Amino acid sequence: MAPATAADRQAKPVAITDNMQVTLDYTLTVDGQVVDASTKERPFKYVQGRKQIIPGLEQAVAGLTVGDTKKVTVAPEQGYGQVDSRAFVEIAKSQLPKGAEPAVGLVLRGKRPDGVVFAGRVREVRKDDIILDLNHPLAGKTLQFDVTVTGVEPAAAAQ
């Protein structure tokens, strides 16, 4: 058998492996509702193997090539995790910005004493305080992705 030529190597599609920049067209559905999607104007790009996306999706697309499509179901443990009750914090209403009217579902942003910015969803409003949920909004959810691979190239060449 003859050794592979440059033309033979170019004919083989490039598979998604670590350190490849990947471009995906995707739609994310949760509980039957589309919650996010890429667009032609805003394609989704990441580098495989660098933990830039949730583990379940990264594992599911490994080995795919340009043009491949796949339906991917990601359990909470491989997505944004289960809801962590330790991420519910009680905050006195007096700590809220003047004039703020907390309501269940409202997303509040703040800064911890160490300077880290955070966002939390109001879970409960009480007389003098609120309960803020600092879990990721998709924690505890099963994620359904429809993905199409639109690009795969070495990360260094993608700069």
Q: Dump pLDDT digits (tens) for 76-123.
A: 999 999 999 999 999 999 988 888 889 999 999 888 889 989 899 999
Residue type, position 133, single letter: D
In angstroms, what CA-CA distances link 68 with 93, 100, 112, 137, 148? 51, 48, 43, 29, 6
Helix (H) or strand (E) holding 111: strand 107-111
Q: Which domain holds residue 126?
A: 85-133
Decide if 24 contacts 148 (C-beta within 8 A).
yes
Write down the pLDDT at residue 112: 82
- If one counts the domains in the chain, the total is 2
CATH number, residue 123:
2.40.10.330
Q: Is the pLDDT of residue 158 over 50?
A: no
Is 71 in the same domain as 147? Answer: yes
Is 51 in the same domain as 122? Answer: no
Write down the pLDDT at residue 40: 87
Decide which of 159 and 25 is more confident. 25
pTM of the model: 0.80
CATH number, residue 145:
3.10.50.40
- Whether residue 1 lies inside any domain: the answer is no
Decide which of 158 and 56 is more confident. 56
- Whether residue 57 lies inside any domain: the answer is yes
Decide if 65 contacts 45 (C-beta within 8 A).
no
Model confidence band, residue 6 (pLDDT cutoffs 50, 70, 90): low
Is 60 in the same domain as 97? Answer: no
The tally of CA atoms less than 13 A away on the side-chain side of residue 96 is 20
